Amino acid sequence: MERPTALTGIKPTGHPHLGNYIGAIKPALEMAKDNTSQGIYFIADYHALNSVQDRKKFKEYTYEIAAAWLSLGLDPEKVIFYRQSDVPEILELHWILSCLTPKGLMNRAHAYKAKVEENAAEGNDSDAGVNMGLFTYPILMAADILLFNSDKVPVGKDQVQHVEIARDIADNFNRTFGEAIKLPQYVIEEETAVIPGLDGRKMSKSYGNTIPLFAEEKALKKLVNKIVTDSTPPEEPKEVKGSSLFTLYKEFAAAPEAASMKEKYKQGIGWGQVKKEIFEVMNRELSEPRQKYYEYLDNKQEIDKILERGAEKARSIASLQLKKIKEMIGC
């Protein structure tokens, strides 16, 4: 029997940070390890285009994201790894699906809806700052997913609605033209904690509170020291629950280390000491990937080669599915 397909896209809209690693990269690489499914991971550069419209940044982010995945252990021999814009079949399917998608479904998509609500709150025209790429974003994502007959789509909670929309669109197609497209299922990592940023809020590029994943050792140490804490004195017992420092520590520590840190919290430990230990476990896990990351970025042709080979593999699957779909609609 064929293995199920697990597909996910990574949008290159900024420098990779710790939140990306813990929330997305790490669980996806874990999932790829057990080989029970065929992993398809791609850089969703066309999805980024609705917001990143600076040629240099657009290119740079794509390379950085690719280098991050490769240096953290993505094996391009096992996983199909490509750049979305290298697979034109996705765009062809995007159009076909657009014609099967009621506009109302897009009106309800959360990113667009949030923008419209923001405009209303600020007294702007409801379409201000909305391009068609933002509006039809979920259709492009449906094309990404459906072209590969994906079974599972590992995503963050904010992307669940998009996968549901992809299911709706697939269902529309199947009912209109006959069964051709598998209905995908989202997979969310329930267990992944919300990773706190420097200010204690969720680590996010939009809050400007991120820790770059590949900050050099000294810079990393400095940033960890900058994480906000309260003024509880060192000797006072502390709760691990709700402690951003503990949340971060736990992500990088081995289980016995985390247990012992919990004990230290109970006994009383100074925030400075906790930060020192966070830096140590983080640096232990990240120093080797960091070195590889900068090697990849110094050798972009190598990244190009890997992505091109991945695109060839992706296209060999995609073209078959597209052909079948085109036949069904009468092209």
The one-character DSSP state at 327 is H
34 among annotated binding-site residues: no
Cα separation of 220 and 202, whole Å?
18
11 among annotated binding-site residues: yes
Least separation in angstroms between CB 159 and ligand TRP:
5
Output 184 or 196, the one with its CB closest to ligand TRP.
Answer: 184
Decide: helix, strand or coil at residue 298. Answer: coil
Least separation in angstroms between CB 9 and ligand TRP:
3
Cross-strand pairs, 17: 212
Give contact residues for ligand TRP (rule: CB under 6 A): 7-9, 11, 44, 47, 141, 144-145, 153, 155, 159, 162
Decide: helix, strand or coil at residue 8. Answer: strand
Output 173 or 265, the one with its CB closest to ligand TRP.
Answer: 173
Least separation in angstroms between CB 153 and ligand TRP:
5
How much is the CA Rg of the chain, to the nearest whole Å?
22
272 among annotated binding-site residues: no
Least separation in angstroms between CB 52 and ligand TRP:
12
144 among annotated binding-site residues: yes
Residue 100, CA atoms < 13 Å, CB-side half-sphere? 24
260 among annotated binding-site residues: no
Nearest residue to 101 (alpha-carbon basis) of 177, 166, 181: 166
206 among annotated binding-site residues: yes
158 among annotated binding-site residues: yes
Output 40 or 282, the one with its CB closest to ligand TRP.
Answer: 40
Output 49 or 215, the one with its CB closest to ligand TRP.
Answer: 49
Residue 11 identity: K
Number of residue whose CB is nearest ligand TRP: 9
Least separation in angstroms between CB 279 and ligand TRP:
29
87-92 long-range Cβ contacts below 8 angstroms, 24+ apart: 87/42, 87/311, 87/314, 87/315, 87/318, 89/147, 89/315, 89/318, 89/319, 89/321, 89/322, 90/46, 90/140, 90/143, 90/144, 90/147, 90/318, 91/46, 91/143, 92/322
Output 207 or 260, the one with its CB closest to ligand TRP.
Answer: 207
* Angle, in degrees to the nearest 10, between helices 244-252 and 255-267: 150
- Binding region: 11-13, 19-20, 144, 156-158, 195, 202-206
Annotated binding site for L-tryptophan: 144
- Show binding-site residues for ATP: 11-13, 19-20, 156-158, 195, 202-206
